[in-house]
Amino acid sequence: MAQRAATLTDLTVAQGEPLAWGRRTYVMGIINVTPDSFSGDGLGSDIPAILDRALRFEAEGADFLDVGAESTRPGSTPISIEEELHRLIPALEAIASRVGLPISADTHKARVARRAIEAGAAIINDVWGLKADPEVALAAAEAGAPLILMHNQETTDYHDLVRDISGSLSRSAEVARRAGVPDQSIILDPGIGFGKTPDQNLEILGRLDELKALGYPLLVGTSRKSTIGKVLGTPLDERVEGTSATVALAIAAGADIVRVHDVKQIVRVCRMSDAVVRGWRPAGWSR
């Protein structure tokens, strides 16, 4: 059974391992229950397919599952709370009944967050960092659910890119703390691809250490993003190598979680990177 709401320090991840920041990089598998995902992997309301992907990701070594019902691709049409609940809740209930990993619900609406926690989500992932609906923080605090706060904005205008993002994330964390979410239950995400140009995305990846200095666990999501396609000239289904490179570089800069579509491949990238960067070794390792 999937874990329900808990503080981060109470969670266990792949194969029942207790969560411990810095030991290794944790992998979050993306499950889009939308008909219009930017990555072309949206499963809509196909519960058997959703459950199959969740079980496959668990078998491939994912530590978390991130389930979202509203597309965040550029130009996507916002959906109502009712439609989001209609898509999200059956998927969460199905996954929570069969999968033993913590589930993150990707939503920026407090009403959806509350229902998601009731349906089995252990974490809330707010892609607007509490700017769209600050009450999401209260929903998380009331349930004791950890909160992922992503930087996002509608323009690509910055005075100082990383300093501006750092300040925005710090303000989001302060809103969460005032609502009752403890520091140890907050994760920050710089929001690669959200309100940023390709050059800005690359600059963020080169300066992640400055965001790590904020003192919170850092989640990085570069998987299949358009910046990779632009650099390599590759379509969506040929971006795993580019994703792998950005993941390895993010780990070297201190990323704690990577959010990805290609779990099996990226778990391997993480383990090899962790062996160098963090001194991680597999069970049974002989020196």
Q: Is 109 among the catalytic positions? A: no
Which residue of the set 53, 225, 271, 287 is catalytic? 225
CB 256 within 8 A of CB 21: yes
- CA nearest 71: which of 93, 55, 87? 87
Which residue type occupies 41?
A: D
Q: Is residue 19 in some structural domain? A: yes
CB atoms under 10 Å from CB of 240, counted, come to 19
Q: What is the pLDDT of residue 283?
A: 87
Position 284 in a domain: no
Rounded Cα distance between 147 and 23, Å, is 21
CA dist., res. 130 & res. 149, Å (int):
7
What rounded mean pLDDT belongs to the chain? 92
How large is the C-alpha radius of gyration of the chain?
17
225 belongs to the catalytic site: yes
Overall number of domains in the chain: 1
In the prediction, which pLDDT does 155 show?
96
Q: Which of 53, 131, 196, 259 is catalytic?
A: 259
CATH number at residue 125: 3.20.20.20
pLDDT of residue 2 exceeding 60: no
> pLDDT of 22-56, one tens digit each?
999 999 999 999 875 544 455 667 899 999 999 99
Identify the domain containing residue 233 by its residue range: 8-277
Average pLDDT on 108-133 reads 97
Residue 286 lies in a domain: no
Print the SS3 string covering 4-52.
Answer: CCCCHHHCECHHHCECCCCCCCEEEEEEECCCCCCCCCCCCCCHHHHHH
Q: At what angle do helices 110-118 and 135-143 cross, to 10 degrees?
A: 20
pLDDT at res. 42: 58
Residue 169 placed within a domain:
yes
Give the pLDDT score at 287: 74
* Residue 238 falls inside a structural domain: yes
